[in-house]
C-alpha cells in the first residue's frame, strides 16, 4: 500500500498538472469504487474545477469549486496516471476526463481503492478522515509526540501503524523508523525510555522526509502519475532485506511477523525493550 511519502509524491505531481482543470467526463468501469455512488459522483462532479490538491494521511484530496471535495484512497494497488485521453492502460477502474482532452486514469488491480465526492463539511465523516491522527510532518513536534506516548501500553510497531495516532505511516516506514531509532519493533511502549522516544521521533520524521525526497518506494505497485518509478527502495536500510547483512553491524537481517505484517529486524542493532 502506498504510504505517506508515496501519496505525497502523487499529490505534488498533481499540483503541477491538475490545478485549474475542469471535469468534462467520468467513466466508471467498477461502480463499487465510487461513494456514495457512480451516478451521484458523475452528476455532481462534471463542470467542477480543481482549485488545489492536498493530502490527509494516505488520502488524496482534490479541493474543487462550490466547496466540493473529491477524495481518492489507493489502498493496496491503486495508481493514478495522467495521460492523453484514450491511451490504453490495464486494470482501469475510472477515468476522469478534462476539458482539454487530458485524463486521469485510476487503475487498481485488486479493486480495493475508493473514490468519494461530497461537500467539504461532509467529506471527513464520509471517508473516515475525521478519525485520523496527527500529520507527522506538519502537526507533530517532539513535545506532542511525548504526550501521545505518555501512559500508552502495547507493542511499538502496532502503535506506529495506528492511523488514529499518526496518519500516513505504513509497514515500510514503520520498519525503517524502528531501525533508525535502534528499537526492536516488538518493544513495549511502557518500557521505552525518554531517549528512546526522542530517537524514535527523529527517526519517523527523517524516514518520511527521505522517502519524499526520493519520490517514494517502488517495490511492488507504486508509480507516480507520470509513470515514473520511485527511487527510495535503493535507500532502504532494513525493509525487504531478509538474510542480507546489516549496513551498520553486518549481522544477518531477520524477518518476522509483528502486528500481522512482515517485519525486518537487525537483532544486534535494535534493542528489545520489555
Contacts for 195 with CB less than 8 Å, ≥ 6 apart: none
Per-position DSSP letters for 154-195, written without gaps between them: SBHHHHHT-TTTBTT--HHHHHHHHHHHTB-TT-BGGG--HH
Looking only at the bridges linking them, the beta strands covering 92-98 and 23-28 are antiparallel
Q: Are 272 and 192 in contact (CB under 8 A)?
A: no
What values do phi and psi take at 225, rounded to 5?
-70, -20
Q: Are 183 and 273 in contact (CB under 8 A)?
A: yes
- C-alpha 263/C-alpha 184 separation (Å) is 10
Task: Give catalytic residue positions.
Answer: 2-3, 58, 261
Contacts for 70 with CB less than 8 Å, ≥ 6 apart: 45, 61, 62, 64, 115, 116, 117
Is the backbone peptide bond immediately before 36 cis, with ω within 30 degrees of 0? Answer: yes
- C-alpha 179/C-alpha 187 separation (Å) is 12
Amino acid at each position: 500500500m502506498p504510504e505517506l511519502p508515496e501519496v505525497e509524491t502523487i499529490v505534488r505531481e498533481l499540483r503541477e498538472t491538475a490545478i485549474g482543470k475542469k471535469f468534462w467526463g467520468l467513466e466508471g468501469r467498477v461502480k463499487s469504487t465510487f461513494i456514495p455512488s457512480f451516478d451521484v459522483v458523475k452528476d455532481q462532479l462534471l463542470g467542477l474545477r480543481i482549485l488545489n490538491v492536498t493530502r490527509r494521511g494516505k488520502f488524496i484530496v482534490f479541493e474543487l469549486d462550490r466547496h466540493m471535495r473529491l477524495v481518492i484512497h489507493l489502498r493496496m494497488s491503486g495508481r493514478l496516471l495522467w495521460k492523453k485521453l484514450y491511451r490504453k492502460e490495464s486494470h482501469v477502474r475510472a477515468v476522469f476526463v478534462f476539458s482539454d482532452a487530458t485524463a486521469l486514469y485510476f487503475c487498481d488491480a485488486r479493486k480495493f481503492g475508493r473514490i468519494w465526492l461530497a461537500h467539504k463539511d461532509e467529506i471527513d465523516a464520509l471517508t473516515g478522515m475525521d478519525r485520523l491522527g496527527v500529520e507527522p510532518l506538519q502537526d507533530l513536534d517532539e513535545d506532542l509526540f511525548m504526550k501521545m506516548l505518555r501512559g500508552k501500553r502495547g507493542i511499538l510497531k502496532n502503535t506506529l501503524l495506528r492511523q488514529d495516532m499518526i496518519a500516513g505511516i505504513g509497514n515500510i516506514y514503520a520498519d525503517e523508523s524502528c531501525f533508525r531509532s535502534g528499537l526492536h519493533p516488538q518493544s513495549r511502549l511502557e518500557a521505552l525510555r525518554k531517549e528512546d522516544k526522542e530517537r524514535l521521533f527523529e527517526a519517523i520524521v527523517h524516514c518520511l522526509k527521505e522517502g519524499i525526497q526520493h519520490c517514494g518506494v517502488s517495490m511492488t505497485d507504486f508509480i507516480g502519475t507520470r509513470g515514473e518509478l520511485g527511487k527510495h527502495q535503493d535507500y532502504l536500510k532494513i525493509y525487504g532485506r531478509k538474510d542480507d547483512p546489516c549496513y551498520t553491524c553486518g549481522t544477518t537481517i531477520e524477518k518476522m511477523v509483528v502486528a500481522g505484517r512482515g517485519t525486518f529486524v537487525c537483532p544486534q542493532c535494535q534493542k528489545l525493550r520489555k
